[in-house]
Structure 1
Amino acid sequence: MTESFRLLDVPPEVLVHILGFLPLQALHACQQSSRFLHGFVTASIELQYLIARSVAQVTDNPSSTLPISDRLRMLRSRETAFTTANPSWVTSIPVPFQMSGVYDLSAGFLFFGEDRRNALRYIQLPSERPPEGAPPVEWGRIPVSSPQSMIIDFGLAIGEHDLVVIATFTPTGPTTAVGVLQGLINLELLTMSTHRPHPESRGPIEVGTSSWGLPSSMMEVVGDYLVFGESYGGMMGGLLKPDDHVYIYEWRTGKLKMKIDAPNRSYFAAVFLSPEVLLLPNTTAATLELWTIPSEQTTPTPTLTLHLPRLASEQGINVITARGEPNPSVYPLRKPSRLPFYSSVDDSIILFHIHFPVQKFLLFIHRRTLLALLDKHTVGDTCVYADWGPGICRWLLAAGINVDWITTTSGQRSVLTPMRTTTPLFFFDFNRYMAQSHPHACLPPTDDPFSNFGIWAEPVGSRLECHASRSTETFSVYDGVSMDDERVVAFWVGRSLLSLLIAMVLISF
């Protein structure tokens, strides 16, 4: 007679391996099914780390050499610090130069453009409190290839490709008849580690000649693709309004995969929802457009168009910007994170800044739920807000909030600070486990929070779960904040003609 198999008879290390395949709810149910399993799961460092990662919705860093016990301790400590908004330490970092206005915070590196627009400056932010008397952190410098060129934007793919892409404008002739400078727009592809041309690229990508001066621009790099967009202000008192253009290239070859044209002042931001799906907020149409990057050039058409709440008559949006951090990736990281874990791309939040003439709003939507909408619609569909938005969106009024910096999210968290006042830092966490375990600290769902504003002609449902907290410490008057998985960076900004004077404080969790 064959003896029956009993799961609990297997060696402990095999049982850990088996239980590790269970989703979080199933593992929790299994733990509650017997006294033995409850004690076994509670005592297993491996399973406790798996549970903590699932609840925090972070991804394990396979290149980390730290033992699992240290990873678990660090994760629990970080989650407690962020949940209670209680930083571990605070320090200031000197900024010995003036900046131009372009900036980014990604992969633990903080970048600013120099005021003369001919170089980028950067530092790798410390993960531990600098010791007393330590020399100040040194800022690296990446110059452009030509002294005549001016930096208009840059994009980063440091972890995935060791890549920094710098968009430059190089004057090519006299001003035009309408008084603007003509120039050539190029994309320089460099390695972060050497500042030299990237060995996998075929050289700079020539976007084209601008007859409208320096554009407002946007850039993102993910996987094989680079997206660059240009938008110009109106000329001759608004009589001339050049179209916006969005270019999607294979960055290694410089091959143009898709070009999107739109009316003037339509596109100010791009977010890769996945390596093949691009989100473009359309300011003039008041929509969120999801574009699938084609294998070959085709007539450009959005895969799905999501309408924002219908505007009241005489109302219009000035600008929509957007940000999602971290970016998705295709290839193994060339420059692995120093952290033993990092925020899950799939679970991350997308933040939109929506500017009206007299009001500003913040909109938060999970990356995962935007991608899920593609499966519910056919190519070319449009969807009104009432059919897609109220249950998965969270709107916040940004009155009195500093919204000059878009780098205020990391994973599912966002940090905000009021303008021109000494105040705590305010944190918003869109992790559903956090909301479920701390319902008393969550923002209530609302069906029409802005009904008296006269901006929208339909209810603006705002029901995405959100945990809110504030720091116990009151900080100085900041002009802006940014955040990543480890820290908040706070800035004071002064202005000197066309440049910005920056002072910076690092608030580490």
Structure 2
Amino acid sequence: MIPQNSPFFKLPSEIITNILENLLLQGLVTCKQTCKKFKELYDSSSQLQYIAELEIAGMKDNPYCSMSVSERLELLRKREDAWAALQPDFSATITIPKAPAGIYDVTPNTYLLGVAAIPNEILTLGIQSITLPSNANEALAAPSVVYMTKHIVDFGTSIEEHDLLAAVTIASTPDHRLFALELTLFRHSTGTLHDQAEKPVIRLMQVDTMVSISIEISGENLAIIVSARDGGGPDELHIFNWKKGTRKGDPMPAPNLGLCYLREDLLLMPEIESHTLAIMHIPHSIPGVDDKDLPISLITQLALPPLAPGQRIAYVQCRCDPSPTAGDEYPQYSPKNRPFFNDPRCAIMVMEMVFFGLEARKSYLAFMHRSTLLDLLPGGWESKIKLPEPKATSESASSRERAPESVQEAVHDSPPSDDSSSEAPPQPEPSSSEPASTQPPNSIPTDQGAPEESNAEPTNALGAEGAQDYADEAVVTLLNQDDDDDDGGGDDGDDDDDDDDYEDEDEDDGGDVDDHDSFYSAEDHEDLPSAQELGISLNNEALAWNTVADGIMYPILNTPGNTLGLMQDGECALDGGTYIPPIVDWSDWGPRTRWLDATKFASVYITSTAGQRFVRIDKNSRAQNSPIRILDFNPYHVRKAHLSNERYPCTDRIVGVGPEELQDESERCLSGGVFIEDIVSRLPYIESSTEKYHGYDAVLLDEQRIIGIINAGPEEFSSVKDIAILHYG
């Protein structure tokens, strides 16, 4: 307790307020409860209230926004009230302008969807981008379209941080058995090759069959998984510095499409065969060090709940939105009139796991905070990372070459989008890979192999009319084969000797991907063994404390089925290595998660989460309208709802808090024959439902909106016809 006559209170109120601005929520609450003077200061300061309420909402302030603090605070409170009551401030329906293909993505302000070369065909030659409205009076922007001359397998985005759209294309090669995969980096706002990429067109690898692609981007790091859809190829994880166009480390085995950044330099990948979540460290590029020499280090593995006999994981997808940024900087390409943004550290990761057993397919959803996963890292792990010393020689001029002018011009000359007048947003100086912010964390404005450049045909545009004359018939044949026979695909993938133009490490399978199929095609994964079938026990004895040469942090797996490509016990050197922490047992971290049986959900799009919320709708909502349900995992919201005598009518239940007799019931997810025992998960949440019923085929979520998917027909994988926007702020 500070006496009211303390000399501290003789300071001007402005100075005391400036001091308090450096505190986080807990510190502000403590000060407010200390004495009457502090309470009066807090209650009279919009700035202190904004700092506290931002943290409660799980959001970060936009330093590029020109709004006053009082305006920001008003918008924040309006937003929080709208989400709590599930009362949108406006709604709209947008018709998809071009014939859609199956690939898609959702960012905080944009819905992106592939463009089919021919309606209802698999071939994808474009990406259409729809800017979502933020207020009722906002005119809908004309959609932009990037067309390419090569079939687009899939794409990834980092629009808010880098104005980046990364597309993977496939094309035939002179060897009729092989197809070339390329990664092309565009500016999303202009559709031109990204000017911050030294090599905007990167050769990825050659493949001989269909693949699925997963791309995640954070800071300078672009992680991409190439996975053979017939289960016969060496599925691989590749990591690039997208700005330099260089590969970090070597390709790693990755028999699964799930990827999620915990931090710019920390990547989580679900590991099917060892039945764990692997967390890896990706070093920043170092001047004078070849990126290929940087060690990709496994930091720890988190065991998943043990499976029942005869069960195996078919696949895992995960998402945690938004992705972290370099140095935790505010994403510089976010709208300047948007005063805040979801804090990546507070965000929920959702993981969809599909299992196959003796009877039927079963699917579960698991939820956990990104901050929880970061807290599970072993203490002192960063000090154990050994990085190579910089070389004395300077970077070669060849590594700084840009794409050939012919390639750049070809892409720049692509047919203009429907909004030909669109321009790139103002571009602040890009943040570096290292933290470079000069702003205090709570600074609020006052009311005052080494990949090579492709020399193949330019990945430029075709007009929508020309798409029907697409000439790469070998790719069309490959796509049709995969569409006709999902579980086909021979095992003649060992054509290494015929790959003269690509590095040996760049061998894999290639082809088309449909986000729906990647979720629901059982045949793709039926040959995958379970951890039990591989003899892997899920306890701390499965990993030994051991030493790895060259300071690479790798667990030494003492059992077969080591799909991360790690050295086996006895292969490592005993001198100069690094000790490795054991696996984190499920019982030690599982209760901090929440598991739900997803069998009755409508089609589970992995883009159904943003910040700390998850959205779902009943499976039969197309036939019989249903309410939209929101799960809110924000701990402050849960606590407030639990303690409040007045609840919003939309609040159906508060799970994970309350009387002890209800706690036991709510913390258990029935095993359903998939797991050895029921899953105990105690992460609390609020479940709310809309008053209005909707007939959507599926629902997505971004920072401001619920997005209802309206398909052209009743079939489960029918193409998207319209999207409905329910805006909350």
**TM-score by shorter chain over 0.5:** yes
Deviations for 1:226-265, whole angstroms, at most 9, x for unmatched residues? 111111122xxx7xx11211100111222110334337xx
For structure 1, the residue ranges without an aligned partner over 5 or more in a row are: 177-181
How big is the shift at 1:43?
1.9
Find the partner of 2:145 among 137, 141, 145: 141
CA deviation string 1:287-308 (max 9, x = no partner): 2111111455367552211111
Q: Structure 1's 497 and 364: CA in aligned 2 closer, same or farther, altered over 3 A?
A: closer
1:255 aligns with 2:246: yes
Change (3 A) 1:201 1:25: closer
CA separation in 1, counterparts of 2:363 and 2:46? 46
Partner of 1:179: none
Residue of 225, 232, 248 corresponding to 1:229 = 225
* Deviation at residue 382 of structure 1 after TM alignment: 4.3
Q: In 1, distance between residues paired with 2:181 and 2:152? A: 10
- 1:316 is aligned to 312
Partner of 2:134: 127
Contact 2:302 2:586 in 1 (8 A): no
Equivalent pair of 1:93/1:503 in contact (CA under 8 Å): yes
Aligned residue type for 1:141: V
Q: Are 2:272 and 2:313, in contact at CA under 8 Å, matched by a contact in 1?
A: yes
2:724 & 2:38 partners in 1: Cα distance?
Answer: 47
1:443 maps to which of 641, 655, 664:
655
Aligned to 2:206: 209
Ranges in structure 2 where 5+ consecutive residues have no aligned partner: 118-123, 285-290, 382-552, 556-580, 644-652, 657-662
User: What is the identity, as a one-letter code, of the residue corresponding to 2:362?
Assistant: Q
1:71 Cα offset (Å): 0.8
SS in structure 2 at match of 1:14: helix
Between 1 and 2, higher relative CO (CA 8 Å, sep ≥ 6) is seen in 2
Q: Paired residues, what number? A: 486
Distance 1:248 1:210 in 2: 18
Tell me the SS of whatever aligns to 2:193: coil
- 1:434 and 1:499, CA in 2 relative to 1: closer, same or farther beyond 3 A? closer
- Alignment map for 1:87-236 (pairs within 5 Å): 87-116=88-117, 117-130=124-137, 137-144=141-148, 147=149, 149-173=150-174, 176=177, 182-203=178-199, 204-212=201-209, 214-234=210-230
Give SS of 1:383's match.
Answer: coil
Please give the alpha-carbon distance, in whole angstroms, between the structure 2 residues aligned to 1:211 and 1:66: 54
Instruction: Return the offset for 1:332.
Output: 5.9
Q: 1:356 aligns to what SS in structure 2?
A: strand
Match of 1:23 in 2: 24
The SS at the match of 1:369 is: helix
Decide whether aligned partners of structure 1 residues 86 and 5 sit closer, same or farther in structure 2, where only a CA change above 3 A counts.
same
Q: Distance in 2 between matches of 1:292 and 1:499?
A: 39
What RMSD in Å do the two structures reach over aligned CA positions?
2.3
Q: Deviations over 1:137-178 (max 9, x none)?
A: 42110112xx2x1111111122222211111111225764xx
Instruction: For residue 356 of structure 1, report the CA deviation from its aligned partner.
Output: 1.7
The CA distance in 1 between the partners of 2:698 and 2:315, in whole Å, is: 19
In the alignment, the residues of structure 1 paired with residue 155 and residue 229 of structure 2 have an alpha-carbon distance, to the nearest angstrom, of 20
> Following TM superposition, by how much is the alpha carbon of 1:29 offset from its aligned partner in structure 2, in angstroms?
2.5
- Residue 620 of structure 2 is matched in structure 1 by 420
User: Secondary structure at the residue paired with 1:375?
Assistant: coil
Q: Which residue of 2 aligns with 1:375?
A: 378
- For 2:27 and 2:137, how far apart are their aligned partners in 1? 43
- Partners of 2:147 and 2:674 in 1: how far apart? 45
User: Is residue 2:237 matched to residue 1:246?
Assistant: yes
Task: Evaluate the alpha carbon distance shift between residue 35 and residue 5 of structure 1 in structure 2; reply closer, same or farther with a 3 A threshold.
Answer: closer
Q: Is 1:390–1:461's contact at 8 Å kept on the other side of the alignment?
A: yes
Describe the shift of the 1:419–1:498 C-alpha distance in structure 2 as closer, same or farther (beyond 3 A). closer
Instruction: Quote the offset at 1:25 in angstroms.
Output: 2.4
Query: Counterpart of 2:321?
Result: 325
After alignment, is 52-61 or 6-15 more displaced? 6-15
How far apart are 1:385 and its partner, in Å?
4.0
Deviations 1:61-92 (A, max 9, x none): 01111111111111111111111222111111
TM-score (norm 2): 0.63
| C-alpha spacing 1:458/1:98, structure 2 compared with 1 (3 Å) | same
Q: Provide closer, same or farther for how the CA distance between residues 384 and 458 of structure 1 changes in structure 2, counting only shifts above 3 A.
A: farther
Give 1 or 2: higher strand fraction: 1
Match of 1:81 in 2: 82
Q: Structure 1 residues 464, 452: CA separation in 2 closer, same or farther (over 3 Å shift)?
A: closer
Is residue 478 of structure 1 aligned with residue 696 of structure 2?
Answer: yes
Greater helix content:
2
Instruction: Report the alpha carbon displacement of residue 499 of structure 1 after superposing the two structures with TM.
Output: 7.1
| Aligned amino acid, residue 481 of structure 1 | V
Say whether residues 1:492 and 2:710 are aligned partners.
yes
* Bigger radius of gyration among the two: 2
Which residue matches 1:66?
A: 67
Aligned-pair CA distance for 1:45: 1.1
Aligned to 2:609: 409
Question: Is 2:260 the counterpart of 1:271?
Answer: yes
For 1:292-349, what per-residue CA distance to the aligned partner results, in whole angstroms no more than 9, with x for missing partners?
A: 1145536755221111101111001111000011111116644233310111111111
TM-score w.r.t. structure 1 length? 0.90
**Equivalent residue of 2:655, what SS?**
coil
* 1:206 aligned partner, one-letter code: R
| AA partner of residue 211 (structure 1) | D
SS at match of 1:66: coil
Cα distance in 1 for partners of 2:700, 2:252 equals 32
Contact 1:115 1:499 in 2 (8 A): no
Asked whether the equivalents of residues 278 and 291 of structure 1 are also in contact (C-alpha less than 8 Å), the reply is yes
User: What is the CA distance between 1:194 and its match in structure 2?
Assistant: 2.0
CA contact (8 A) 2:101 2:113 kept: yes
1:36 Cα deviation after fit: 3.1
Please list the CA deviations of residues 97-130 of structure 1 after superposition, one character each: whole Å capped at 9, or x if unmatched: 2211111111411100112211100011110114
Please give the secondary structure, in 2, of the residue aligned with 1:424. strand
Kindly state the Cα deviation for residue 375 of structure 1 after the two structures are TM-superposed. Answer: 3.0
The amino acid that maps onto 1:370 is L
Give the stretch that moved more between structures: 253-262 or 158-167: 253-262
Bigger mean CA offset, 495-504 vs 359-368 = 495-504
> Which amino acid is the alignment partner of residue 433 of structure 1?
Y
How far apart are 1:207 and its partner, in Å?
0.6
Distance 2:75 2:727 in 1: 13
The percent identity for this pair of structures is 26
The alpha-carbon distance between structure 1 residues 405 and 498, as it changes in their structure 2 partners (threshold 3 A), is closer
Residue aligned with 1:469, SS = strand
Q: Is structure 2 residue 285 aligned with structure 1 residue 293?
A: no
Q: Secondary structure at the match of 2:719?
A: strand
**Distance change in 2, residues 1:497/1:350 (3 Å):** closer
